[in-house]
Amino acid sequence: MTAAMPISLEVNGERVDAHVLPRLNLADFLREHLKLTGTHVGCEHGVCGACTVRVNGEIVRSCLMLAVQTHGASVVTIEGLSDSGEIADLQAAFRDRNALQCGFCTPGMLVAAQDLLRQETVPDRERIREHLSGNYCRCTGYQAIIDAVETTARARMGRKP
Amino acid sequence: MKASAFSYARATSVANALELLVAYGDKAKVLSGGQSLIPAMNLRLISPELIVDIGEITELRGIAVRGGVLRVGALTRHVDLLRSPEIAAYAPLLTEAIAHVAHPAIRNRGTLGGSLAHADPAAELPASMVALNATIVVRGQARERRIAARDFFTGIYETALSAQELLIGVELPIAQKSSAHFFHEFARRHGDYAIAGLAAQAIVRGGLFTDLRAAFFAVGDRPILAKAATKLINVGVTPTVLAEASATLAAELDPQEDQQASAAMRRHLAKILLARCVSALLGRPDLTPGGTL
């Protein structure tokens, strides 16, 4: 049973069939096998949030999920969110507000922020802080990130009929 | 780091999971949400030979209310607890406690059963189970055992669960009309493990406690149901009565010292938590130390 196991899942809308060792985590599967390197690997024990992806519509730490556990699941990575245009405005707001410097945490930040914006239309700064509390940024001091998420929330609200 | 190599089995039923656990004993580890197990494996703190993934056993999922008892399946995730109207109505302490557990991405995977079986002494859910007087239901091949939460936790990461048993779920008595609860923890950052915390469930009638279960966490090797609380039951709580209970609490706790806090600091914080709990539940601002929360 230590041998590779077959898995079949959907990644960014495309069906993927693969054979993976049980010890392989989802982050490494995405990066090494599928070459989707937007998912970053920081602490590898669930603290930093850089590896945040969406599985079956909900955000998870991809370093704390085994690839074999994603059999039958639908995974969306930062590449999927970016290519579909779902977070184009959020990405623009991050640029405008200087909400990234080195950019290492940014994919995880964007995935987590979009998760909040899908659940709540206009979260206040405290809610944004709380929702992003599991994502570390070592450059920005967070204020600009909160600004960008808040700005995006307000802009999306304004666009609604 | 990466986890060392292991074998993986996706259990198809409770019976199937138990067969694997009996065959492998303590060389196997049960994978539920994996939010504590996988970090420990990635850090190579543990290297199990076999992972028994119980994630697909749907019978272990769900929240139900029957005959004055709230039953929660072991695989019920933190996020499910947080959003459950049944939990909010019948065990609101738990709704409040869950908000302090880690972060959204962790709560989307982490499960109640996993947290209880892991038994981190600084975790919110074990203490909440003790405060709520929960019964933990565990199943082995021969029999099912029902263990009171206060007897279930036996030490740091240690429980009454044997390597051949599976935690099935918990049963909680539903909150009464005069029930009141208090939850607070001191942590350096939102979502961190607590430096000291308190989950309390009480019955308040006519300005008096007729029951007070105060379960402290992160101040010992397991959740501590404070005996000091008995000094506050069926008496008019004056500052003197509270001070006596507080002294009893300090004496019965034996907190650990680590990089987060000294034992003395933890004792101090526990006393503050007790006072704030009493003040909040009895509606007595005069008993609040050091300002409100």
Q: What is the pLDDT of residues B153-205, one digit of tens each?
A: 999 999 999 999 999 999 999 988 899 999 999 998 888 889 999 999 999 99
CATH architecture of the domain B194-284 equals 2-Layer Sandwich (3.30)
Structure tokens at B242: 């509270």
Are B189 and A64 in contact (CB < 8 Å)?
A: no
Residue A10 to residues A18, A55, B141, Cα–Cα distance (Å)? 11, 10, 37
- Closest by Cα among B139, B153, B174 to B68: B174
- Closest-CA distance of chain A to residue B263, Å: 26
Q: What is the pLDDT of residues B68-81, one digit of tens each?
A: 999 999 999 999 99
Q: What is the pLDDT of residues A33-77, one digit of tens each?
A: 999 999 999 999 999 999 999 999 999 999 999 999 999 999 999
**Could you tell me the fold of the domain covering B7-53?**
3.30.43
> What is the predicted ipTM?
0.95
CATH among 3.30.565.10, 3.30.420.40, 3.40.50.300, 3.10.20.30 for A5-81: 3.10.20.30
Q: What is the pLDDT of residues A69-81, one digit of tens each?
A: 999 999 999 999 9
- Closest-CA distance of chain A to residue B103, Å: 5
Partner-chain residue, chosen from A22, A59, A68, that has the shortest CB–CB distance to B105: A59
Give the largest Cα separation in chain B, rounded.
Answer: 60
Of all residues in chain B, what percent carry a pLDDT higher than 90? 94
Domain chopping of chain A, boundaries:
5-81, 85-159
A56 CB-near residues (< 8 Å, 6+ apart): A73, A74
Judge whether B45 is closer than 8 Å to chain A, CB to CB. no
- Closest-CA distance of chain A to residue B30, Å: 13
In chain A the first and final C-alpha atoms are separated, in Å, by 55
What residues of chain A lie within 8 A of the CB of B106, using their CB?
Answer: 46, 61, 64, 134
Partner-chain residue, chosen from A58, A68, A116, that has the shortest CB–CB distance to B108: A58
pTM score: 0.95
Domain chopping of chain B, boundaries:
7-53, 62-173, 194-284
What number of H helices and E strands is found in chain B?
A: 11, 14
CATH among 3.40.718.10, 1.20.120.530, 1.10.150.120, 1.10.760.10 for A85-159: 1.10.150.120
Q: Which residues pair with A25 in a beta bridge?
A: A66
Most A-contacting residue of B106, B107, B115, B189 (CB-CB within 10 A), to test interface: B106
A55 CB-near residues (< 8 Å, 6+ apart): A26, A62, A65, A70, A73, A74, A75, A76
Evaluate whether the domain defined by B62-173 bears CATH number 3.10.310.30: no
- Considering only residues B129 and A158, tell me which one the structure prediction assigns the higher pLDDT: B129
